[in-house]
Amino acid sequence: MYPVISGFDHLVFAEAPKLIYWELTRACDLVCTHCRAEAIAMRDPFELSTEEAKVLLGQLRTFGDPPPQLVMTGGDPLKRPDFFELVRHSRSIGMPTSVAPSGTPLLTPDAIAALAENGVMSISLSIDGATAGSHDRFRGVAGCFETTMRAIQAVRAAGIPLQINTLVTPETMAELPGVFRLLKDLGIMRWSLFYLIATGRGRALREIRPSEAEALHNWIYDLVKTAPFAIKATEAPHFRRVAYMRMKLEGLDDTAIRQTPIGRGFGIRDGNGIMFISHTGDVYPSGFLPVTAGNVRRESPVSIYRHSEIFTRLRDADQYGGKCGLCEFRWVCGGSRARAFAETDDPNGSDPLCAYRPEAALVGAADGDRG
C-alpha cells in the first residue's frame, strides 16, 4: 500500500454529499465561451416539471441532518417561471439553499429582494475580468459586467452573503490581481477561482500549465492570510497539498490543519461530497464530469449517490491510476476527477494539471505504473 498523510486517510463522504448542484434549466441569455452546460436560449421541454422538482427536493431532504447545501444553478435559474416557488419550497422543508443566477437584466433588485425574503443562504455571481471589456468578452454579451456590478450592489443591500466566481485560464491569469483589488471592498464572503475543465464550450479554451497552477496555488495561499474573504480553488484540489505543506512548514500540526477552513474541505471532490443533478434529472459526480450515474425520474438521488458504481468508485482514492494513485495526498486531494476524465476518458486517471511528483511514484517505479 502506498503511503498517505498521517491522520488524513479515508476521507469518505459515503452517506450524503456536502454540496448538491442542481441545474434547474439550461436556458440562459449569455453565451459564455467556457460554459459547461453549453447553455441555450430556450428551455428544454424535457426539464423536470414543477411537481417533479418538488418531489426531488423532498428526496434530497431525506439525506438526513444536517442536510446538504443545495445550489440552484443553470443555465440561468431565473429563466424558469417557477424558480421562486421552488426556492420557497426548498426552504420550507429545511434545505439550506443557495442560488447561482446569471448576470443578466433578469436579476433585478426586486428579484434579489425576493430571494432574500425567501431565505436563500447565499448568491454567487461571476466576474471573469478586472474590466468590462475583458469580462464581457468571456460572457459573450456587451454590458454584462455593468449588469453584474449593479446586481452585486443589490445583493449587498439585501444582506445576502455573496460569492464571486472567476474562471482561471491563460487569458484570465494576468487579470486575477486586478479582480482581487476590485473585490476587496465589495463585502463578499468568498472568491472561488474555477480552474478551467475542457468540457462543454470550454473545450475550445486552453488550460493553464501545471507550473502556472503551482504558482497560482502559492499566490492564493499567501493571499488567504490577508484577504477580507475566503478564497477557494475549484476543480484544483491540489491546492490543498500546497496549503498542507505550507502549514506544516509554519509549524501547524495535523489537528490544527484539519480545523482550518482549508483543512475542513480536505477530501471533498467530484463524487465524494459533491453531486450534480441536470435539468432533465440525470445525476453526475459533478457538473464538469459527464458520466451519468442514474436519473431521479427512475431512482432516488439518495440511492444513486450512496450506491451507484461511479460514485462508489470515485470515493475510493486507492483505486486511482497514474501518479494520483501513488500520491500520499490522494485522500486529502485526489485530483480533479473531471479533468482526469477530460484528459484520459477515465475518471480514475491522473489529473494532468498537478505539478507534484509523489515520492512513491519515484521510488516505486519498479512496481509498475498503476495507471
Residue 6's pLDDT is what?
A: 66
Distance of CA 267 to the CA centre of its chain: 14
Residue 369's pLDDT is what?
A: 42
The Cα 292–Cα 286 span in angstroms is 10
C-alpha cell at 83: 424558480
Report, as ranges of residue numbers, the positions in the chain whose pLDDT lies below 50. 36, 365-371
% pLDDT > 90, the chain: 79
Would 346 be classed as within a structural domain? no
Would 2 be classed as within a structural domain? no
C-alpha cell at 237: 484540489
User: Which domain covers residue 170, as residue numbers?
Assistant: 19-315
Would 287 be classed as within a structural domain? yes
Would 330 be classed as within a structural domain? no
Short-list 299, 297, 319, CA closest to 310: 319
The Cα 322–Cα 333 span in angstroms is 14
Would 173 be classed as within a structural domain? yes
- Buried b / exposed e over 191-226, threshold 16 CB at 10 Å, is bebbbbbbbbbbeebebbeeeebbebbeebbeebee
Q: Are strands 19-23 and 69-73 parallel, antiparallel or unpaired?
A: parallel
C-beta separation of 358 from 349 below 8 A: no
User: Residue holding cell 443553470?
Assistant: 74
Residue 113's pLDDT is what?
A: 97
Which three-class secondary structure string do you get for the chain? CCCCCCCCCCCCCCCCCCEEEEECCCECCCCCCCCCCCCECCCCCCCCCHHHHHHHHHHHHCCCCCCCEEEEECCCHHHCCCHHHHHHHHHHCCCCEEECCCCCCCCCHHHHHHHHHCCCCEEEEECCCCCHHHHHHHHCCCCHHHHHHHHHHHHHHHCCCEEEEEEECHHHHCCHHHHHHHHCCCCCCEEEEEECCCCHHHHHCCCCCHHHHHHHHHHHHHHHCCCCCEEEEECCCHHHHHHHHHHHHCCCCHHHHHCCCCHHHCCCEECEEEEEECCCCEEECECCECCCCEECCCCCHHHHHHHCHHHHHHCCHHHCCHHHHHCCCCCCCCCCHHHHHHHHCCCCCCCCCCCCCCHHHHHCHHHCCCC
Residue 198's pLDDT is what?
A: 77
Q: Considering the chain, what is the average pLDDT of its residues?
A: 90
Residue 371's pLDDT is what?
A: 36
Residue 292's pLDDT is what?
A: 97
Would 296 be classed as within a structural domain? yes
Would 214 be classed as within a structural domain? yes
- Residues 229-247 have pLDDT tens digits of 999 999 999 999 999 999 9
Would 238 be classed as within a structural domain? yes
What is the dihedral sign for C-alpha 75, 81, 86, 87? positive
Q: CB within 8 A of 292, min separation 6: which ones?
A: 282, 283, 284
User: Would you tell me how many other CB atoms lie within 10 Å of the CB of residue 297?
Assistant: 13
CATH number at residue 284: 3.20.20.70
User: How many domains are there within the chain?
Assistant: 1
